[in-house]
Structure 1
Amino acid sequence: MRRFASCSLILAGGLSIVACTPDQPAAARQPVFEDVSFRQDYSKKYSATDTTLALSHVATDRNGAVQILSSRGLLQPYAGEFLYPGTLVADKSFRPLRDKKIRAISTYRQQRVYLDDKAVFSNAWAGTLYKKHTLPNAKHFAGGKDFSFLVSDGKKLQYLNDGIAWEGSAPAGLIDIVYDARRNAFMLLSPSEISVFSATEHTVTTFYTGKGLTCLALTNNAREWVVGTHAGYFTLDAASGRQRGTLQRKLPCADLTAVEEINGKLWFGSVRGAFMIRPDGKCNYYACKRWLPSDTVIDLAPGADSSVLVLTDRGLGEICFKSMTLADKAAYFGQQVRRRHIRHGFNATLENLEAGNLGTGTLDDSDNDGLWTCMYLAAEVFRHTVTGADDALENCRESMDALERLYTINPMHGFPSRSFERRGYKYDSEPWRRAEDPEWDWKSTTSSDEAIGHMFVYGVMAELMRDEDLKKRAVVLMDSLMQHVLDNNMYLVDWDGKPTTWGKWNPEYVNARPAMVGDRKINSSNIISMLQTAYYFTHREVYKEKAFELMTRQGYYENLMRPMREITTAPASADDWSKMLSEAWNHSDDEMYFLGYWGLYRYAFNDTLQANFREAIIDHWQAERPEKDALWNIMTAVTGAQQFDLDEAVWYLQEYPLDLVSWKVKNSDRGDIMKIDTNFRNQHTAEVLPPDELEICRHNANRFGLDGGNGGATEYSAGDIWLLPYWLGRYLGVIGTPDVVKP
C-alpha cells in the first residue's frame, strides 16, 4: 500500500506522532477484478386479476408470444416491465379460438399447438394441422415424430398419425405425457409409475414404478429422465430405466410440481417457488414476490431471449437474464437513487408502498438520514474522483447541503441532527423538536453511528474532492462536530443538555463496560479514527493531544486492538446495560467499525500505529469473512492487504438483486442449506445465501438472517448498499473499468 512522505516527528504520551499525507492507493500488488459481463437476473411479473381462475399451462412460440391456459380460456401477458408488474388478460387475438373448448396447450417445433374436445390443431403451418380424436374430455397430449400426437383423457390413450392409428388404456391417474425423440416413444407419468408407449410397436409397457411421482423431463441429450416427486427428484437412465444415484432431497423445496431442461439448465417448480440447478450442484432459488406472483408453481417453459416462464397459481413470472458489467449495474443503481430516493438531498428510503407499487411510495425520514447520506455521498465522491463526472459533483453538492443543514437547523453548535422535515408532517414529540424557522422541525437524539458516518465522508471529501469549496466545507463540519465532542467531555449533548443515548466516548462510559463487551472496542476505535481525521485536516493540536490521552492514559489503544475473538457476552456479574449490549453480535457496530477504518488507517499518526491498526482491521475482517459483505472486504483493501476476498466482494455485487423492494422472504425451512447451532454472532447457516435470496438489508444487518421483509412496503436505496462498495473498489483500483460500458 502507500508510504508516507514529508513527515514531522512529535513526541507525546510516550508514543511518536507523525503527521503524514496519504497517497493514491497503490493497488498494483493487490488482485484486480476485470469487469467482464455476467448474467444479471431479474423478473417481470403478470398477475391474474381474477383470483377465481385456475391456471394450468404456459407456452410460447418462435416469435416469443406467450399464452396461458386458464379455466376460462386463453390468456396473454399485458404490459409489465421490471418493477412495474403487468396482468394476464383474455387473449382475443384469434377469435375462433374463443369458441373452442381448449384443454391443453404445448409447443411443437417452436409453434403453439392446442388440444380441445375434438382435435389437436394449430394456427401455425397455415392452419393445416388438425388431427381429430374421439375423447371429449381429452386433457393431456404430446407431439411426436412427423406431426404425430398421443392424446389422453386420463382413462384412454389415442395415437394420432394418419387418423387414430392406435387406441388403448391409460395408466391410472395419468399426470403428463412427454415425448422421447431419440427412441420415438411417449413416456406416460402417473403418481406410481412411468410407462412407455412405443410409437413404432404401438405397445404400452412399464418403465419404472415408484410412489409420489409428480413431474418428468428428458435431459442430458436424451440420456436421462429427471423424475420429480413430493420428496425430491431422481434420475433414470433413459434407455434402461435404471435409477441413477439416490433421491435428491437437499433442495429449497422438495415438494416438486414441474421440471424442465431450459437453455441447458435443469429447472424445477415446487410448492415454494422455482429453482435452477447450478453446475456446482447448488441451487439458484426464485421465490417470493421479488420473482413470482405466487410461490405455488404450476408450469415451466422457455421464454424469449433465454428467459424462463414460471406459471404460478396467481400469475406468470418471467425470469429474465441480461448481460451486464458491474459498471452497467452501477449506472442503473445510480439512476434508481436519483429518481426515487432523494429527499431534501438525503439518501432516503421509499416507504409505504402498496405491495411493491412504486407509484404509491413516500419518501420518509430515518433516524439515520445522515449516515445513509454520508455513505452515498462517499460513493459519489469516489465516482467523481475516478470518472470526473459532472453529475457526480452536483450530487455531492446536493447531499452536502443536506448534511450542513443538519448542523444549522438546531441551536447546538457542532451537533448534527438526525434529520429534518417540514413542520406539520411529524409528531410534536420525541425525538422531533421545533426549529427556529417556523416551517421546519428537526430530529434529535443523534447517535454514534451518525457521527462516524459524518467523519468518514468528511475525510473522504477533504482528501479527494477536486472542488475546493466542498473540501473546505467538509473540513468546517468535521471540525465543528469534533469540537462539540471535546467541549462536552467526549459526549454528543442534545437540546436538553444531556448526552444522547449512544453518542458517548467518555472513558467513564466506555471503560465501564467489561473488556469483552463490544461497545468498549467500537467506541474506542471510532473516536480515535474521528480525532485522527480531524487532526489531519485541521492541524489543531487539541485533537492529537486528546487522541493520545485516550490511547495512552485511558486504555483506548488496548481497547481498539482487542482481538475480535475476545468479544462475547458480558459475565453474570456485569451491569444490566453491558449485558444488554452484549446479548449478541451487533452488526451496526460492524458498519461503524469499517467506516471508521478509513480514518483509522489512512490518517494514522505514525507508521507504527498504522501497522498496528492494519492488524486490527484485518483481524476484524477475518471474523467477518463468512458474511461475504462487499463493503467489509473492499474497505479492508484500503490497508493494502493482498487477501481481502475480492472474489466474494464481486459475488456480492453481482448477486445483489436489481429489485430492492423489501419483499417477504422465507428460507428457514429450506432443505438445501446447512444450519448450525445458535451462536453469539447469530450465524444460522454454514454458508451465507446469495443476496438475491435474502431480504433486502443494509450493511448494518445480519446477512445470515434467513427470513424477513415487510411484504413489499419499502424500496431501499442502492446508494449506501451497493454504490459505496462498488465505487470504493473502483477508486482503490481493485475493480477494473470495463472495455465498453453500456448506456
Structure 2
Amino acid sequence: MTQSLPDTPFVQKRSRSWTLPGGRHPNDIRSLARDVYGTVVLGTADGLFRFRDGRFEIDRDIPCPDVKRLSVRENTLVACTGLTLSERSGDSAWRNLLQETWDDGAVIDTLPGSPPSVILSEAGIGTIEDSVVRPRPDMYPPDAKAFRFAARQDEVWVGGTDGVRIIQADGTSTDLLRGHRIRDIVFTEEDHALVASAEGLYRISASGDEEMFETPVTDFHALATGDGWIWAGSSLGLCGWDGDRWHYLAGPRWLPSDDVRAILVVDNCVYVGTGDLSTSRPAPSDNDGQWTALYLVAQSYRYAVTEEPEARACAEQAFDAIAWLEAVTTVGGFPTKAIVESEEDKGSDPVAWYPTADGRWLWKGDCSSDEIDGHFYGYSIYYDLAATDEKRAEILSLVDRVMGHILDIGYLLICADGKRTRWGVWAPDYLNGPWRAQRGLNSLEILSALRSAEHITSNSRYGDAYTDLVENHGYAENARRTKITTPGHVNHSDDELAFISCYPLLKYETDTGLRDIYLESLHQAWEIERPERNPWWNFIYSAIVGTPTDIDKAIRTLREIPCDLLNWPVRNSHRRDVTIDAYRGRKGEVQSTHVLPYDELPMSKCNGNPYSLDSRTNGASEDDGTYYILPYWMGRYYGYIGMQNEKS
C-alpha cells in the first residue's frame, strides 16, 4: 500500500521588510514593543515610531528621540532614552520620571514596576526617589557594567559584563555565568530563564542549573519568546528554536541587516529583507531547454492530478518552447540550449551563437547531453500524461528528428560548424575508449533516450539501436555503475542526469535481466544522494522500486524550500553547529558534512550542491519555481502527498 502523507497546511517562514523614513539613524532600531492598543512600537536612534497598516507614524512628542529601550507596564508605555526616563499612559502626554537636568548618562533599562523605581544607566544602577537617582552599587559586581534587568516573582535578575546576579527579596544574591557578557534575559512559561550573552545562549532552571544551547552562532543581543518558539538575535543573524531544532535566518533573504538588536513576537510573526524587485529582465542560461523541460514535467503531473485546463495549457506552452529550440536552428534535429533576440545581451559564456534564417534571433551552439536528457525526460512524461492527440503527433515528429540526428552521425551531436559539441557524445568508440569517466552515465543516457523514442514513435530503428548498444557494446553493463570511481569532487549535475535517465528507462524496459541492472544502478545512485533529502530523487526512486521511501524527509525539504527564490548572499561556514568537510566542492566551495535546512542554504536548483554553505551572490537574480513544483506534483501524482492516484 502506498505510503501517503497528507498535504496539510503548515507554517512556512517568509520575510518582508520595511524601511523607516529619515535615513540611517531611524533605521538603527534598539527596541520593539506592543502598546495597549496592540500597535507595534519601535524605539530607534532618532525617534519613536508606531507601525499601523503598513505605515510608520513618528511620535514627535517624546521628550528625547534617542530611544534605548521600550516596555509596557499595565496601560503605560515606558521609554528609556538618552536623556531621561519617560512614560505615557494611553493618549495622554509624555511624563518624565527623572529631573530634566539629570546628566548621569543614558537610561538603558528599568526594573518592572508601576511606576518604575529602579533604573540602569550608563552610570550604573540606581533607585528613583523624588525624581532623583540614588546609586545602588550593591546590585552588581564592582568594576563591571550592568546592562539588563529582568524580574521573576520576588527575584531581580541583573545581567552585564560579569554574568548574572540574582537578588532575592531578603537582599541575598547569587552570581551565575561569571565572566560572561550578558545582553538580554527573558523568562519562559516553564519558569526557566533564557540568558543571551556574547558567548552563547543559556537556559537556567528554577533550581539554578545551567545549560548552554548548541546554537548555530553566538554573540547574542536580544531574546523573545512566543507561539512556542524561542528567538535569539545576534550580530550574525536570527536563531529560532521550535522545540525540535534551531532555524538560522541570516542574509538579505531574511533580514535587512544581520545585526539583530530587537525582537518582538506578534501573532505568529517575527518581522524583519532587502533588495529592489521593481524591475527584472530574463537572461540566457547554459540549459534553458532542460529547465523548460522540467517545468513541462511539473505541469504534466499537475494536469494528471487535477485535470485543470490551465495545467495542460502551461504544459503545452512549455512544450512549444522546447520544440522551438530545435526548429530555430539551422541544423535539422539539433536543439539549441538558448535563444536570444539578435540585439540582446548574450552573457559572458564564450560559446558561439548563430543567427536564425531570418536574422531576428541568435541561437546558442554546443548543445550538450544535459539538454538531450532533459528534453527526452520531458517528451516522455508529457506524451504519457498531458498531451492532446495533436501534441502527441508533434512530439513524435520532434523525437524522430532529434534521435535521427544523433543516430545518423554515430551517436554524436554535430553543430553548425560541422564539429561535435563538447559533451554531446554517446558513441561506443568514445565511451568504451578514452571517455572512461563518462562511460556509465552517458551509456545510461542514450539507452534511456532510445527507449523513450521507441515508446513514443514505435519506430523499430530505435529499438534495434538500443539492442545493438546493449548486446554488442556492453552499454547496460556500463550503466550499472554511473560513477565508475569515487571522485574527490562530486558533480551534482551528473546525479540529476542519472535520475532523469533512469526514470523513463525503467518505466519502459520490460526485460527482467536488464531491469535488474538498471535498478542496481538507480539504487546505487540513490544511496549516495539519500542524505540530501531531495524530494525529486526520493519520489523517482520510490516510484520506480514500488516502495515509498523517505517520503517524510522529502516533504520536510519541500516545506523548507523558501518562497523567495532570489539568489541572496548566504553565509553558514562560520556556524558552531556545522562540521566543515575536509574536501571542498567541485567549484572550490566550502561544504559541510551534512545538509542544513534548505531555507538556510544558498538558493540552488535541484542539481546544485546542497552541502555548499556560502554564496557570494547579491540578490540580483532569481531562480524559477520548478525546484518545488516538479517534486510536489510528482508526489501528488504517485499518492505520496495527499490523495492516492491511479498511475500509468
Specify the SS of the correspondent of 1:186. Answer: strand
Give the superposition deviation at 1:659. Answer: 0.9
Specify the SS of the correspondent of 1:692. Answer: helix
Give the superposition deviation at 1:101. Answer: 6.1
* Aligned-partner residue type, residue 73 of structure 1: G
Give the superposition deviation at 1:539. Answer: 1.2
Specify the SS of the correspondent of 2:612. Answer: coil
Conserved 8 A contact 1:144-1:181: no
What does residue 269 of structure 2 align with? 307
Specify the SS of the correspondent of 1:404. Answer: helix
What does residue 262 of structure 1 align with? 226
In structure 2, relative to structure 1, the CA distance for the partners of 1:161 and 1:222 (3 Å cut) is farther
C-alpha distance in structure 2 between counterparts of 1:503 and 1:96, whole Å: 72
Q: Does 1:634 align with 2:539?
A: yes
What does residue 236 of structure 1 align with? 204
Give the superposition deviation at 1:709. Answer: 4.4
Instruction: Specify which of 41, 50, 57 is matched with residue 31 of structure 2.
Output: 57
Q: Does 1:31 align with 2:13?
A: no
What does residue 350 of structure 1 align with? none
Give the superposition deviation at 1:100. Answer: 6.1
In structure 2, relative to structure 1, the CA distance for the partners of 1:427 and 1:712 (3 Å cut) is closer
Give the superposition deviation at 1:426. Answer: 4.0
Instruction: Specify which of 595, 598, 619 is matched with residue 691 of structure 1.
Output: 598
Conserved 8 A contact 1:662-1:696: yes
TM-score normalised to structure 2 length: 0.90
Conserved 8 A contact 2:184-2:221: no
Between stretches 29-38 and 490-499, larger displacement belongs to 29-38
Conserved 8 A contact 1:634-1:728: yes
Conserved 8 A contact 2:413-2:421: yes
Q: Does 1:114 align with 2:84?
A: no
* Aligned-partner residue type, residue 371 of structure 1: Q
What does residue 284 of structure 1 align with? 247
Q: Does 1:180 align with 2:87?
A: no
Q: Does 1:489 align with 2:410?
A: yes
C-alpha distance in structure 2 between counterparts of 1:230 and 1:143, whole Å: 22
C-alpha distance in structure 2 between counterparts of 1:138 and 1:417, whole Å: 67
* Aligned-partner residue type, residue 45 of structure 2: S
Conserved 8 A contact 2:188-2:194: no
Conserved 8 A contact 2:253-2:566: yes
Instruction: Specify which of 715, 722, 729 is matched with residue 635 of structure 2.
Output: 729
Conserved 8 A contact 1:461-1:470: no
Give the superposition deviation at 1:412. Answer: 1.1
C-alpha distance in structure 2 between counterparts of 1:283 and 1:567, whole Å: 37
Instruction: Specify which of 569, 578, 581 is matched with residue 673 of structure 1.
Output: 578
Specify the SS of the correspondent of 1:223. Answer: coil
Q: Does 1:74 align with 2:37?
A: no
C-alpha distance in structure 1 between counterparts of 2:129 and 2:9, whole Å: 48
In structure 2, relative to structure 1, the CA distance for the partners of 1:513 and 1:680 (3 Å cut) is farther
C-alpha distance in structure 2 between counterparts of 1:292 and 1:388, whole Å: 40
Give the superposition deviation at 1:474. Answer: 1.7
1:645-724 to 2 correspondence within 5 Å? 645-678=550-583, 684-719=591-626, 721-724=627-630
In structure 2, relative to structure 1, the CA distance for the partners of 1:559 and 1:111 (3 Å cut) is farther
Instruction: Specify which of 410, 422, 431 is matched with residue 329 of structure 2.
Output: 410
1:112-261 to 2 correspondence within 5 Å? 112-116=77-81, 117-124=83-90, 126-127=91-92, 130=95, 132-134=97-99, 135-136=102-103, 137-142=105-110, 144-145=112-113, 147-159=115-127, 168-169=136-137, 171=140, 173-183=144-154, 185-197=155-167, 203=171, 205-208=173-176, 210-221=178-189, 223-238=191-206, 242-245=208-211, 247-248=212-213, 250-261=214-225
Give the superposition deviation at 1:398. Answer: 1.6
Between stretches 692-701 and 47-56, larger displacement belongs to 47-56
Write out per-residue CA displacement over residues 410-454 of structure 1, whole angstroms, 9 at most, x where no aligned residue: 121111111212211146984211110122211111110100111
Specify the SS of the correspondent of 1:500. Answer: strand
In structure 2, relative to structure 1, the CA distance for the partners of 1:557 and 1:156 (3 Å cut) is closer
In structure 2, relative to structure 1, the CA distance for the partners of 1:289 and 1:146 (3 Å cut) is same
C-alpha distance in structure 2 between counterparts of 1:710 and 1:680, whole Å: 17
- CA RMSD between the two structures: 2.9
Specify the SS of the correspondent of 2:61. Answer: helix
Specify the SS of the correspondent of 2:2. Answer: coil
Conserved 8 A contact 2:163-2:182: no
Give the superposition deviation at 1:272. Answer: 0.8
C-alpha distance in structure 1 between counterparts of 2:307 and 2:77, whole Å: 52
Task: Judging by fraction of residues, say which structure has more strand.
Answer: 1
C-alpha distance in structure 1 between counterparts of 2:482 and 2:618, whole Å: 39
Give the superposition deviation at 1:694. Answer: 0.6
In structure 2, relative to structure 1, the CA distance for the partners of 1:567 and 1:30 (3 Å cut) is farther
Conserved 8 A contact 2:340-2:346: no
C-alpha distance in structure 2 between counterparts of 1:434 and 1:154, whole Å: 71
Give the superposition deviation at 1:510. Answer: 1.2
C-alpha distance in structure 1 between counterparts of 2:217 and 2:616, whole Å: 20
Conserved 8 A contact 1:214-1:258: no
What does residue 379 of structure 2 align with? 458
Give the superposition deviation at 1:97. Answer: 2.4
C-alpha distance in structure 1 between counterparts of 2:407 and 2:4, whole Å: 41
Q: Does 1:586 align with 2:505?
A: no
Conserved 8 A contact 1:158-1:164: no
What does residue 485 of structure 2 align with? 567
In structure 2, relative to structure 1, the CA distance for the partners of 1:597 and 1:683 (3 Å cut) is farther
Write out per-residue CA displacement over residues 52-99 of structure 1, whole angstroms, 9 at most, x where no aligned residue: 56432222335543232222222456987xxxxx9xx6x43x442276
* Aligned-partner residue type, residue 523 of structure 1: N
Specify the SS of the correspondent of 2:418. Answer: coil
Give the superposition deviation at 1:705. Answer: 0.7
Higher normalized contact order (CA 8 Å, seq sep 6+, divided by chain length)? 1
What does residue 340 of structure 1 align with? none
Give the superposition deviation at 1:162. Answer: 9.3
Give the superposition deviation at 1:225. Answer: 2.1
C-alpha distance in structure 2 between counterparts of 1:480 and 1:213, whole Å: 71
Specify the SS of the correspondent of 1:151. Answer: strand
What does residue 62 of structure 2 align with? 97
TM-score normalised to structure 1 length: 0.79
In structure 2, relative to structure 1, the CA distance for the partners of 1:276 and 1:100 (3 Å cut) is closer
In structure 2, relative to structure 1, the CA distance for the partners of 1:161 and 1:477 (3 Å cut) is farther
Conserved 8 A contact 2:76-2:87: no
* Structure 2 alignment gaps of length 5 or more: none
What does residue 433 of structure 2 align with? 512
C-alpha distance in structure 2 between counterparts of 1:119 and 1:278, whole Å: 36
Write out per-residue CA displacement over residues 143-200 of structure 1, whole angstroms, 9 at most, x where no aligned residue: 53555443232335444599779763364554433332422x33221111323455x5
C-alpha distance in structure 1 between counterparts of 2:125 and 2:234, whole Å: 28
C-alpha distance in structure 2 between counterparts of 1:674 and 1:408, whole Å: 49
What does residue 741 of structure 1 align with? none
Write out per-residue CA displacement over residues 380-423 of structure 1, whole angstroms, 9 at most, x where no aligned residue: 11111111111112212222221111111112111111121221
The count of aligned residue pairs is 631
Instruction: Specify which of 293, 300, 306 is matched with residue 374 of structure 1.
Output: 293
* Aligned-partner residue type, residue 298 of structure 1: R
C-alpha distance in structure 2 between counterparts of 1:214 and 1:99, whole Å: 26
* Aligned-partner residue type, residue 98 of structure 2: H
C-alpha distance in structure 1 between counterparts of 2:400 and 2:129, whole Å: 87
Between stretches 152-161 and 525-534, larger displacement belongs to 152-161
Give the superposition deviation at 1:206. Answer: 4.7
C-alpha distance in structure 2 between counterparts of 1:162 and 1:186, whole Å: 22
What does residue 397 of structure 1 align with? 316
Write out per-residue CA displacement over residues 18-49 of structure 1, whole angstroms, 9 at most, x where no aligned residue: xxxxxxxxxxx231111122210011123456
Give the superposition deviation at 1:115. Answer: 3.2
1:523-602 to 2 correspondence within 5 Å? 523-562=442-481, 564=483, 566-569=484-487, 584-602=489-507
In structure 2, relative to structure 1, the CA distance for the partners of 1:209 and 1:531 (3 Å cut) is closer
